[in-house]
Chain A
């Protein structure tokens, strides 16, 4: 299991024009609507255009399928702007149940802490938190009542699992929210970047050259699974993935993994 943390915004594009105000949306899971980095992107970046015998064996070729199996990098923690503590790391029961199910299927140790079910207007946070102001967790457009200490065990365990030694950076910003609230921020809380193209002479925006790009914000944490043994390719500490690479999108840091 590998965790990836975005250090810059990530744009795994859909390659399609959308009919909404966002011109370039990011890829999302069909069933949940959560943003996702498709496994094919990960695999392509790790292969890095190599065509030798070893890569053909690992990543597959026209003749044979790959020995290495990678899964989509799924959303685990979404950073959402917060009135206190700058931003919060959100997750929800659906995401964690899914992680647990995958851990079980792969024979990895499962999350031990119970996964409580927060109410629609509730955010469960650990005792030592930075994001609570006057008993509330105030995010973007939504105020949630904070239950301090409600996610203590979960925060500690996830912190150790994902962030290891940097656990305290995470625990102070962690909040477990209901599936519906999480869903809302996946839909509305991503970063939207306005881009323009200027006319060289006049330095004004060229006609029709304003577009909006959606990106998964920096700090987002994804989880993915790699099945197969001893693949050095997976040990790279950093990768760059997704669209708009030449303006610095998609720098991922590898966290944990066994």
Chain B
């Protein structure tokens, strides 16, 4: 740390503090640096930036993932403390890199037994030089997961203690003993109870089932496989809330049919004209896939009843809507 900064208390950017803020290399210097980072609230720019980001991705499927255990992701990023953390370059907030989420999904996909072609859509595939097949990119976009702006102080101090340094560094050449000096290493992690928002989008129209499918698998991965480092020591597990899955057009159509079932069965010569008027008015603006089951039921009813005639303008209109 430069002399001019020694007096500076709270550093507004956690990433900058972590990478450039170390005063010296004594253990107490590390300790005080981590303390300062943990106590620094996230910057004032972030809530506004978060809203802009969320508005830009309004069509995405958003997962809400809350850490149940500490999270240590990006430990390998170089830092003066030797253990880094994924911290957003501009805002200094912890975040979940999209590449890590996509990698986790790839592992989860193994468990879900997806076919090769399903994996190609979700994750993309590399080129195959033998069959001269070019690779293709994934059809979905896994965005970085952003911190919920309400989580004002997301960091915590953490420590990992190496008990048998020589044993590890010589790869087992030296035996571990009870007389080895433990070596505590301080590092930064994300504390439990911190919420992240993870968007997944699919640029193709009429393919919104895919991001929902990916979200379900990612939920399973985040809850059971863990994200980031030290997952075998209980780090990186989440509680995930999925967005409500929109009903498919078929489901909506069947529900609509259910509500009208009795009314259709009750169509009689006496009320036919009025009832058909009602249904044509109700259904005209509904999407074709939604209104189809009801129209088909009416047609069937009229046919069973042997009054279905193409020359009847109302019947012709029903057929026209079915053919669209």
Contact = CB atoms under 8 A, between A and B. Distances in A.
Interface in B2-38: 2, 4-5, 7-8, 11-13, 15-16, 20
B12 A83 contact: yes
B144 A248 contact: yes
A47 interface: no
Main secondary structure of the interface of B (DSSP, over half): loop
B288 interface: no
Contact of A218 (B15, B57, B88, B203): B88
B140 interface: yes
Given A8-B143, A248-B144, A86 B4 contact: no
Contacts of A248: 98, 141-144
B12 A84 contact: yes
A240 B140 CA distance: 13
Contacts, number: 124
Contacts of B232: 203
B20 A246 contact: no
Interface stretch (A34-42, A64-72, A102-110, A133-141): A133-141
A246 B138 contact: yes
Contacts of B45: 85-87, 169, 173
A83 B16 contact: yes
A86 B102 contact: no
Interface string A242-253: 001111110101
A84 B74 CA distance: 25
A238 B56 contact: yes
A218 to B, nearest CB: 5
Q: Which among B12, B78, B107 has the highest number of chain A CB atoms within 10 Å?
A: B12
Contact of A79 (B78, B90, B103, B231): B90
Nearest to B42: A86
Contacts of B15: 81
A195 interface: yes
Given A8-B143, A219-B90, A246-B102, A81 B107 contact: no
A129 interface: no
Contacts of A141: 20
B90 A218 contact: yes
B12 A217 contact: no
A246 B137 contact: yes
Nearest to A138: B5
B293 interface: no
A198 B228 CA distance: 11
A143 B2 contact: yes
Contacts of B92: 81, 86-87
A191 B44 CA distance: 21
B99 interface: yes
A81 B89 contact: yes
A7 interface: yes
B56 A83 contact: no
A134 B6 CA distance: 12
B24 to A, nearest CB: 18
Contacts of B44: 85-86, 130
Interface residues of A, number: 48
A244 B124 CA distance: 12
B193 interface: no
Contacts of B5: 83, 138
Contacts of A83: 5, 8, 11-13, 16
B268 interface: no
B131 to A, nearest CB: 23
A130 to B, nearest CB: 7
Contacts of A198: 103
Contacts of B89: 9, 81, 191, 215, 217-218
A200 B13 contact: no
Nearest to B229: A203
A158 B98 CA distance: 33
Interface string A217-258: 111000000000000000001101000111111010100000
Contacts of B103: 197-198
Contact of B140 (A166, A210, A246): A246
Contacts of A188: none
Contact of A85 (B12, B74, B88): B12
Contacts of B107: 200
Contact of B141 (A134, A136, A215, A240): A240
A197 B100 CA distance: 9
B98 A87 contact: no
B95 to A, nearest CB: 10
Given A79-B90, A83-B13, A173-B45, 11 more contacts: A81-B89, A83-B11, A83-B12, A85-B44, A86-B44, A87-B91, A191-B89, A219-B90, A246-B138, A248-B144, A251-B57
5 contacts: A84-B12, A86-B12, A86-B46, A247-B143, A251-B143
Interface of B: 2, 4-5, 7-8, 11-13, 15-16, 20, 43-46, 48-49, 52-53, 56-57, 74, 76-78, 88-92, 97-99, 101-103, 107, 110, 124, 137-138, 140-144, 203, 231-232
A-B pairs, top 7 by smallest CB distance, nearest first, are A86-B43, A248-B143, A247-B98, A248-B98, A191-B89, A246-B138, A81-B16
